[in-house]
């Protein structure tokens, strides 16, 4: 029997009310806890209560733009499995699979890699009941066994290939702000005229400040961001690499070098919005700091490759060849969609440069494609 889609818990109380009560009780909350509540509150968080991805939703992602994205990541995974020595059992885990589109396209591509398919089981790591139901529906004809988990820590041990597209940007950031010559926790408090406003709270612990900024007398108001859950993800991967080969592909939007500044942003119906105006109703994200991820991975003994711009990554993996093949049997309308989709993914003026791919692996494996070519 097929799985029954789960119903989202319907909470009559908007998150803004819950947060007001919390701030009245506890005082201002950290930006980290605000972002976490907005996205993941068990009753009224953004992802808990809706399927936000697609034209009718708030934002669109690469796998939703072109099937070639998931197909090429599928091919990448099969190549990495070969580089691991083709272990007889491997888990491909996807973090935050959204509507399940990327995994559906990858699974279709793996039908022409029967040995990989025979070794494979798929782990979908998802916290949102609404999106889990969408994934179950999308992947119901999967040629490989599927299993859902709430956290990567729950995924069984053994050789692992991990995919995370636009997942890390949705993990809460901690913001630290320079005020009165001291680094303080950036908070969300009540605004004088109602609603919420940013503030500066208690001084942070010394370890919260990146070493490069410790001794600098930064200008008042300087903001730096860290992402505790991303650091924990790297630690989990490095821990697993002690027992079995691992490879991870992290794709997201963000900066190559650690920077300074507030990158918290809200998107509603494909437009930017105020992150404080309607908590839980807008998609809140912040740039991914690829340099920090890479540094954390290397410090724990993992090999890191990239980040490489999404456009270059996809072109080197064969975007053009794959599109050519699709074009041969396409109608005129489909042709237009294939070409505009490929341009949207790869053109540096669209997603091709802002979005980047970082590969992490157990040390000692051959570099993953296409990093080995450069
Ligand atoms: N990868 C998909 C969806 C990106 S949206 C795509 O490219 O289309 C972010 C996804 O991460 C959603 O599926 C959301 O429910 C999930 N998510 C957010 N925080 C999570 C967490 N802490 N653990 C697991 N999944 C999470």
- pLDDT per position as a tens digit, 220-278: 999 999 999 999 999 999 999 999 999 999 999 998 888 789 999 999 999 999 999 99
pLDDT averaged over 10-residue windows placed end to end, the chain, 374 residues:
42 83 97 97 91 91 97 98 97 98 98 97 96 97 98 97 98 96 96 93 91 81 95 98 97 87 94 94 95 96 97 97 96 95 96 96 96 70
Residue 140: count of CB within 10 angstroms of its CB: 12
* Rounded distance from Cα 167 to ligand 1 centre (Å): 5
* Rounded distance from Cα 325 to ligand 1 centre (Å): 31
pTM for the full model? 0.94
Residue with CA nearest ligand 1 atom 21: 127
* Rounded distance from Cα 215 to ligand 1 centre (Å): 37
* Rounded distance from Cα 98 to ligand 1 centre (Å): 6
Alpha helices in 216-371 (DSSP H): 228-241, 290-299, 310-316, 319-328, 332-346
* Rounded distance from Cα 155 to ligand 1 centre (Å): 16
Indicate the burial class of 20 (C-beta count within 10 angstroms; 0-12, 13-18, 19 or more). middle
Q: Taking Cα atoms as reference points, which of 316, 303, 293 lies closest to residue 373?
A: 316
Indicate the burial class of 225 (C-beta count within 10 angstroms; 0-12, 13-18, 19 or more). buried
The pLDDT, as a whole number, for residue 89 is: 98
The pLDDT, as a whole number, for residue 10 is: 47
Residue with CA nearest ligand 1 atom 3: 98
Residue 19, beta-bridge partner list: none
Residue with CA nearest ligand 1 atom 6: 98
The pLDDT, as a whole number, for residue 124 is: 98
Taking the alpha carbons at both ends of the chain, their separation in whole angstroms is 48
Residue with CA nearest ligand 1 atom 17: 96
Residue 91, beta-bridge partner list: 121, 160
- Residues contacting ligand 1 via CB (< 6 Å): 40, 47, 53, 61, 63-64, 96-98, 102, 125-128, 131, 165-167, 170
* Rounded distance from Cα 165 to ligand 1 centre (Å): 8
Indicate the burial class of 11 (C-beta count within 10 angstroms; 0-12, 13-18, 19 or more). middle
Contact 344, 310 (CB under 8 A): no
pLDDT tens-digit profile of 315-350?
Answer: 999 999 999 999 999 999 999 999 999 999 999 999
Specify the ligand 1 atom closest to the Cα of 53. Answer: 8
* Rounded distance from Cα 253 to ligand 1 centre (Å): 14
Specify the ligand 1 atom closest to the Cα of 166. Answer: 4
Looking at domain 49-172+226-373, which CATH architecture does it have? 3-Layer(aba) Sandwich (3.40)
Residues 6+ apart with CB under 8 A from 82: none
* Rounded distance from Cα 137 to ligand 1 centre (Å): 17
Instruction: Dig out the tokens for 193 from the structure.
Output: 């005229």
The pLDDT, as a whole number, for residue 367 is: 96
Pocket-testing residue among 33, 66, 96, ligand 1, by greatest number of atoms within 8 A of Cβ: 96
Q: What is the DSSP string of 344-362?
A: HHH-TTTTTTTEEEEEEE-
Strand 174-179 relative to strand 182-190: parallel, antiparallel, unpaired? antiparallel
């Amino acid at each position: 029997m097929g799985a029954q889609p789960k119903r989202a818990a319907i909470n009559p109380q908007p998150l803004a009310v819950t947060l007001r009560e919390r701030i009245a009780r506890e005082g201002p909350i950290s930006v980290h806890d605000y972002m976490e509540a907005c996205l993941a509150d068990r009753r009224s968080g953004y992802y808990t209560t809706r399927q936000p991805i697609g034209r009718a939703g708030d934002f669109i992602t690469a796998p939703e733009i072109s099937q070639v994205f998931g197909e090429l990541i599928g091919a990448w995974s099969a190549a990495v499995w070969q580089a691991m020595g083709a272990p007889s059992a491997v888990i491909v885990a996807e973090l935050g699979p959204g509507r399940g589109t990327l995994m559906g396209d990858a699974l279709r591509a793996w039908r022409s890699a029967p040995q990989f398919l025979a070794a494979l089981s798929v782990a979908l790591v998802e916290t949102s009941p609404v999106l889990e139901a969408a994934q179950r529906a999308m992947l119901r004809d999967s040629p490989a066994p599927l299993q859902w988990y709430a956290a990567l820590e729950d995924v069984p041990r053994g050789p692992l290939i991990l995919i995370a597209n636009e997942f890390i940007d949705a993990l809460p950031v901690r913001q630290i702000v320079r005020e009165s010559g001291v680094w303080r926790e950036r908070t969300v408090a009540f605004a004088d005229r109602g609603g919420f406003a940013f503030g500066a709270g208690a001084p942070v612990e010394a370890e919260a400040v990146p070493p490069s900024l410790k001794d600098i007398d930064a200008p008042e108001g300087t903001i730096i961001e860290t992402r505790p859950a991303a650091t924990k993800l790297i630690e989990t991967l490095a821990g697993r690499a002690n027992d079995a080969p691992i490879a991870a592909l992290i794709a997201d939007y963000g900066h190559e070098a650690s920077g300074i500044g507030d990158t918290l942003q809200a998107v509603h119906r494909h437009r930017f919005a105020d992150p404080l105006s309607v908590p839980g109703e807008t998609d809140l994200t912040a740039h991914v700091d690829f340099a920090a991820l890479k540094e954390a991975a290397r410090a724990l003994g993992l090999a890191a490759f990239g980040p490489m711009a999404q456009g270059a990554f996809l072109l080197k993996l064969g975007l053009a060849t794959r599109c050519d093949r699709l074009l041969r049997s396409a109608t005129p309308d489909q042709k237009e969609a294939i070409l505009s989709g490929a341009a949207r993914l790869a053109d540096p003026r669209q997603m091709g440069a802002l979005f980047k791919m970082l590969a992490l692996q157990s040390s000692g494996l051959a570099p993953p494609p296409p990093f080995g070519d450069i």
